[in-house]
Amino acid sequence: MVWRLLDVEWPDKPYYNMAVEEAVARAVGEGLSPNALRFWRNDNTIVIGRYQCVSLEVLLPNCLEHGVKVVRRFTGGGAVYHDLENLNYAISFKRPSPIPSDDVSLGFRKVGEAIVLGLGMLGIKAEFVPVNDVQVGGKKISGMAGMLAKNLLFIHGCLLVGSNIEVLSKVLNVPKEKLEAKGAKEVRARVTTVIEEAKRQVSMDEIKLALLRGFEKVFQENFSPGKLTEWEEAEAERLYREKYTTLDWNLGPCTACPGRDKDAEILNLIASRG
Amino acid sequence: MDFYRHAVQRSSEGKTVRVCVVVSNGKIVNVIFTGDFFAEPPELIHKLGESLKGLSLQDLEEAGRRIENFFKNEEIWLMGASPEDFKIALTKVVQQSSKTD
């Protein structure tokens, strides 16, 4: 089966965007759809990792103040800030995948290589840094997350194109242990963007094309532009309704946190605005 | 008396394991491990916390043994952190408690 290229996004509906992300992955895992590469964006949204405590990782009152939405994704990894100047990529492989042993860390490496190649075509010298980062001169430009299920290997990530790093540092509560270990005191000191590194305006279409070429080269596959199948649309609707718009899902696992009730209220307020 | 403690452990792979613990009358009544590690299936991370409920907060030896056994016995895929990181995070909570109690 030819691999699919999906350029489908709902930037103002981050809960639906995430539902589509999971629906496509499920369809590929079930063998209902071919392997797929998706490009998409969210506007002004924090996407929190599957296992993270929203109260500890996100400065929720600041999200409310800046109109930032918060949605939990289905993969592990850390919280990220998305805006329209941030391009997400996601690749779903039916197992057995082209990644040796279906190993997620090798998956990060291979997808990282594709991103590095793509950035190289834009004149940016980047490198993959384990576990799941792509960096330029020691600064993170892209981070990845992934998961392994019975029939599915899934990797997705976001590329900072010209993202509003000022907002990012106001809404994410990065642990001081992490910043100290990375040798930087503030979020903005350890991340960079495509526009900053290319030193010119680069259009989203140009970036998507460069990344696509990177994926084609690394995986030795051609991608055919496609759209969501009826099954994927129905599954996305279900996941949107039953999972991604629910307080239980977005508030997450940390029932021990003392501020949980207050944070639930804030999350409800945030959701009601979008 | 009830109290809440939270600690962070940074793994050698650069990920964080956080633990939030609620203690009542010296016994652990709620433990939740969170962080930016990767794991499948998700419900097992919750089950790990459940396996520590009822222990005395000071009984680190038994808590460590339960964490070790948990990862040994369950079919869990973990990346970015090790079982040891979960143990250390819990140890940090206990150390924090001894300093402040």
pLDDT digits (tens, 9 = 90+) for A197-219: 999 999 999 999 999 999 999 99
Query: Does the pLDDT of residue A33 top 90, yes or no?
Result: yes
- Secondary structure of residue B9 in the 3-state scheme: strand
- What confidence tier does A122 reach under pLDDT thresholds 50, 70, 90? very high
Structure tokens at A236: 């996305």
Domain tally, chain A: 1
Q: Helix and strand tally (H, E) in chain A?
A: 11, 11
Average pLDDT of A253-272?
90
- Residue B99 makes CB contacts below 8 A (sequence gap 6+) with none
- The Cα–Cα gap between B68 and A63 comes to 38
Domain that holds residue B66: 2-100
Alpha helix positions (H), A135-203: 165-171, 176-181, 194-198
Q: Give residue A158's pLDDT.
A: 97
> Token digits for B35?
């962080």
B31 pLDDT higher than 80: yes
| pLDDT surpasses 80 at A228 | yes
- Taking the Cβ of residue B31 and every Cβ of chain A, the question of whether any pair is shorter than 8 Å is answered with yes
Q: How far B14 CA sits from the closest chain A CA (Å)?
A: 7
Q: Is the ipTM of this complex over 0.85?
A: yes
Q: Give me the number of domains chain B comprises.
A: 1
Q: Are A195 and A83 in contact (CB under 8 A)?
A: no
Tokens of residue A49, six digits = 């990792």
| Residue A182 reports pLDDT greater than 70 | no
Q: How are strands ordered across the β-sheet holding A45-48?
A: A69-72, A45-48, A80-82
Interchain contact A138–B (C-beta under 8 A): no
- The parent domain of residue A171 ranges over 3-264
**Given an 8 Å threshold on Cβ–Cβ distance, is B38 in contact with A253?**
no
- Confirm whether A272 is domain-assigned: no
CATH of residue A183's domain is 3.30.930.10
> Rounded to whole angstroms, how far apart are CA atoms A154 and A28?
10
Amino acid at A85: E
Average pLDDT in chain A = 93
**Whole-number pLDDT of residue A95:** 97
Tens-digit pLDDT profile for residues B39-83: 999 999 999 999 999 999 888 899 999 999 999 999 999 999 999
